Amino acid sequence: MNIEPARLDPLYVPASPKTISVLPRELWLKFTATLATRFGMRATDVRKLVPKKLEVTEYGRVRQLDGGDTMQARELVPLGVDGRDMSYVRYQLSVDIFAHIKRRKPVFEPRNFFGQLLRIVVIEVPEAFQGMSDEEDEDKEDGEVEEGSAEMNMIQDAMNLGEEEVEVDAVSAISEQDDSLPQDAADGIPDTEGQSVIDI
């Protein structure tokens, strides 16, 4: 899989080191769960569309354009003896405020988190998800794919055809959440609020 950085998110530029690997099972499960949440599908249906041995491209660094910092993925870029740790980032996720109530319809609100950037992964998203735009998702009140809609037909067609590789959708960075980061350690952490560096 040879992916050009120009085809990725225009706000970020991935940089070396670069390697190609198969996504580990625990990250594959997180990725499929993210797709299920993003497109309002059941995780079991999503996992039928995504190959279990998913080949991905990993980068060691990513630079935010327009004056942003260069962030490092700790698993690919070892910390130098006298270097500043550029793997800690602040990021924003949508959190269901009623997650503790099983039958309640989810209500999402943005929340800030701090974490260490461990991996920067570029994933080719299955074709079934490519036709789903942000505008269509915002129009849905309950976040579910409507029966008989063009989206549902596209998903069912993809399930019948099997797994296909398509164009890259975005850079996804896997991070290990660390809410216990002291406030003074949070100073100097690259601010990615309102931007989608962390997709998983």
Contacts of 179 (CB under 8 A, 6+ apart): 113, 114
- pLDDT averaged over every residue in the chain: 69
pLDDT per residue as tens digits for the range 12-60: 888 888 889 898 899 899 888 888 888 888 888 889 888 888 888 888 8
Confidence bin at 8 (pLDDT 50/70/90): low
Q: Rounded mean pLDDT of 129-135? A: 57
The confidence score (pLDDT) of residue 4 equals 52
Nearest to 96 by CA among 112, 109, 114: 109
The confidence score (pLDDT) of residue 60 equals 86
Residue 98 CA to residue 107 CA, distance in Å, equals: 7
**Residue 119, helix vs strand vs coil:** strand
Q: Where are the domains of the chain?
A: 12-126
Higher pLDDT, 121 or 130: 121
* Structure tokens belonging to residue 130: 């490519």
Question: How many Cβ atoms are within 10 Å of 148's Cβ, its own excluded?
Answer: 8
Which pTM does this prediction carry?
Answer: 0.51
Nearest to 134 by CA among 192, 92, 196, 89: 196
* Structure tokens belonging to residue 32: 């499929």
How far is CA 48 from its chain centroid?
A: 19
